[in-house]
Structure 1
Amino acid sequence: MADERMLAEALGVLSGGSPERDLAAFRAEHPGVRVRLVRQREEYDGSIQHALLIKKGDGATISLSWCPERELPWPLRGVHRAGEHLLLRVNGVETPVARAVACLDFIWDESRLADRLVTDSLVREAMEEAWEPLTDAELQEAMNAFRRARGLLTGAETRAWMERNRISHHELEELVSVEASIARLRSRIAAESVEDWFAEHGRDLDVARVAKVVLVPGAVLSSADPAGFLEGVERAFADGAAVPGEVFATLRRQELGPETADAVFSAEPGTVVGPFPTERGDLMIKVLAVEPAVLDDTVRDLAERRIFAEWVERRRSTAKVEWFWGTAERTGA
């Protein structure tokens, strides 16, 4: 499936000293080939080993690796130190990874964490197949955004956060770089689809500005008059008949169930709609304003995220997922 020149050039990527840099030239020379650079840190001595996975259209894959003289020999690659199986130690009490996973076994009933782990693997696979390093300016911009999102507005606050989370400056840069690379991948995948997606699904992003309250089961507002809605909410909360929570909110159509969305977005401003049953009680909503979605920066970002989620689901449907913990039945599911 590959001629000798391609394999020789691939070997040059691994042996040249800068695999990430040389890989771009190799991809440009062989555009019809999917290439993934695999990096692995060896626990035995801390060295970084590289391998290339080369795939053409027939589905077969070549795995190519290279070991220079006096580097970690093949038999010791993949050897694990005993400490690698530990996740946590508190006051000398050790928690192995297996015990931590057993404690988290409930996630099989609410699979958001498991889904995120699979998604992370699929995204990293895609980024490794077409790796584009961030420029210094892009990294700095991403770092600034990362700090703002977490309220780390001063150097002292940032250092305290790093110390609290036991993160070094290098690890922080790596974390920010991954976030920025994912955002760039998301934008690249969605770049040519946003307008078409918005034309078909933009209605889901319509906005309603509302006042709302969830009443405990059996409770009712003291006044059904829209003009007295907020006063009724105050009395309900004072009497213990309202569930504590946000009163004023901005809701998008996609966040609501079909029945609730139809009632809210067809109502005139000033109208009270409900009750709508929820897990916590009956939801009452006073509609203050309804706005159709427009393709501004916020909506574009939401559209990109929906397109990206659909792309991830397509990759997941053909992915080979192997769990190395949990019962066989749950792993299979």
Structure 2
Amino acid sequence: MTDGRTLAQALRVLTDGADLDAFRAANPDLRVRLVAQREEFDGSLQHALLLKGPDGSTVSLSWSPDLGLPWPLRGVHRAGEHLLLRVNGVETPVARAVACLDFVWDERGVADRLVTDCLVREALEEEPEPVSDAELQRAMDAFRRARGLLTGAETRAWMERNHLSHAELEELVAVEASVARLRSRIAADHVEDWFAAHGHNLDVVRLARVVLVPGTPLTGDGFLGDVERAFARGQAVPGETFVAARRRELVAELGEEAAGTVMSAAPGTLAGPFPTDRGELTVKVLAVEPAVLDDAVRDLVEREIFAGWIERRRRAAKVEWFWGTAERTGNVPGNQPER
């Protein structure tokens, strides 16, 4: 990574505008990232080329024209009110953080979502996932359907409520589409192996279920009749009666042992009661369906693989928070709060 030829090629990228993609193609063993940083001191834009080798070491190459910002003043900054977070040099303004919290990431805690967004954008800067106009339109249609925005008027009203322009909405949807492509690329060669090892956790069980006040008996005259009578007496907790759940969802709700009992029960039999924070859960098993690697399950597997990939990058990331007190931000693993 430090031989003269490689460094000379890298320097030409910085000084002469040589093709960055061609440099990446000529050096497949390197992770290459061109970093742009706006200097707080004078507002100038500085660039550096980061070359990360297979052993994890990194060479940082930068170049400054004559009369550029002096080196001692590079990196001098204050955390402006607009800046919330920086991960591996990727900055998250407060406005983007709000967008993340509202509808970009919907499966982790606040701090995790923001760090994940930075790590994903870092990966997309290193290896972009361009989205075609047709893909963007499909992603936009899916985005609107998921939020019940079925007409132009509903979409415009939603944009006004969230203070988004059409260009900003397209940018957010393009991010989602790019993330989906990145996720598929990361998981591409691992889906079948993951499914062979963990696919049983995606088996589906179809249930009729009821949560009863502790001590409420089931007479055995018929499960649904018992549920109706218990609900009429105020002994059944309001909730969904017919559900389809995957094994991993049952494990999260009831624990491994109870989930195993339900998944192994013969169709037509009762299982439980199982203690929950709302009362005692009793279920009637209607059907158990082994997971099949169809499109829906493949998407779930890709998400699991992608989550593991993100976690590995998170453990190696430098995370800097620019908000709150050191005590508050220090509670998040990996944080290095500014002082």
**Range class of TM-score, shorter chain:** 0.7 to 0.9
Does residue 243 of structure 2 align to residue 240 of structure 1? no
CA distance in 1: counterparts of 2:40 and 2:164, whole angstroms: 19
TM-score (norm 2): 0.77
Q: Give matches, 1:32-181, under 5 Å.
A: 32-40=29-37, 50-65=47-62, 75=73, 84=82, 112-181=109-178
Match of 2:105? none
TM-score (norm 1): 0.78
CA shift, 1:252, in A, is 0.8
Per-residue Cα deviation, 1:300-332 (whole angstroms, up to 9, x for no partner): 111111222222233333334444544176255
Match of 1:253? 247
Q: In the superposition, relative to structure 1, how do residues 175 and 329 fare at CA in structure 2: closer, same or farther (>3 Å)?
A: closer
Contact 1:43 1:81 in 2 (8 A): no
- Aligned partner letter, 1:232: D
CA shift, 1:83, in A, is 5.2
Match of 2:187? 190
Q: In the superposition, relative to structure 1, how do residues 60 and 116 fare at CA in structure 2: closer, same or farther (>3 Å)?
A: same
CA distance in 1: counterparts of 2:237 and 2:68, whole angstroms: 64
CA shift, 1:201, in A, is 1.4
Contact 1:203 1:292 in 2 (8 A): yes
Q: Give matches, 1:193-212, under 5 Å.
A: 193-212=190-209
Q: In the superposition, relative to structure 1, how do residues 331 and 297 fare at CA in structure 2: closer, same or farther (>3 Å)?
A: closer
Contact 2:129 2:182 in 1 (8 A): no
CA shift, 1:192, in A, is 1.4
Aligned counterpart in structure 2 of residue 220 of structure 1, from 198, 211, 216: 216
Q: Please give the secondary structure, in 2, of the residue aligned with 1:26.
A: helix
Contact 2:210 2:281 in 1 (8 A): yes
Q: In the superposition, relative to structure 1, how do residues 236 and 37 fare at CA in structure 2: closer, same or farther (>3 Å)?
A: farther
Q: Please give the secondary structure, in 2, of the residue aligned with 1:283.
A: strand
Q: In the superposition, relative to structure 1, how do residues 8 and 295 fare at CA in structure 2: closer, same or farther (>3 Å)?
A: same
- Aligned partner letter, 2:31: R
CA shift, 1:250, in A, is 0.3
CA distance in 2: counterparts of 1:78 and 1:136, whole angstroms: 40
CA shift, 1:6, in A, is 3.8
Structure 1 gaps, min length 5: 87-96, 101-110
CA distance in 2: counterparts of 1:81 and 1:115, whole angstroms: 21
Q: In the superposition, relative to structure 1, how do residues 170 and 65 fare at CA in structure 2: closer, same or farther (>3 Å)?
A: farther
Contact 2:129 2:181 in 1 (8 A): no
CA distance in 1: counterparts of 2:53 and 2:188, whole angstroms: 26
Percent of aligned positions with the same letter in both sequences?
66
Match of 1:93? none
Match of 1:89? none
Q: In the superposition, relative to structure 1, how do residues 262 and 77 fare at CA in structure 2: closer, same or farther (>3 Å)?
A: closer
CA distance in 1: counterparts of 2:319 and 2:81, whole angstroms: 26
CA shift, 1:29, in A, is 2.1
Contact 1:10 1:52 in 2 (8 A): yes
CA distance in 1: counterparts of 2:42 and 2:236, whole angstroms: 60
Structure 2 gaps, min length 5: 85-93, 98-107, 335-339
CA distance in 2: counterparts of 1:238 and 1:130, whole angstroms: 59
CA shift, 1:276, in A, is 0.5
Q: In the superposition, relative to structure 1, how do residues 71 and 243 fare at CA in structure 2: closer, same or farther (>3 Å)?
A: farther
Q: Please give the secondary structure, in 1, of the residue aligned with 2:28.
A: coil
- Aligned partner letter, 1:279: D
CA shift, 1:152, in A, is 1.5
Match of 1:297? 295
Q: What is the total number of aligned residue pairs between the two structures?
A: 305
CA distance in 1: counterparts of 2:131 and 2:45, whole angstroms: 21
- Aligned partner letter, 1:220: T
RMSD of aligned C-alpha atoms?
3.3
CA shift, 1:258, in A, is 1.6
Q: In the superposition, relative to structure 1, how do residues 162 and 15 fare at CA in structure 2: closer, same or farther (>3 Å)?
A: farther
Contact 1:207 1:252 in 2 (8 A): yes
Match of 1:2? 2
Q: Please give the secondary structure, in 2, of the residue aligned with 1:330.
A: coil
Match of 2:277? 279
Contact 1:323 1:331 in 2 (8 A): no
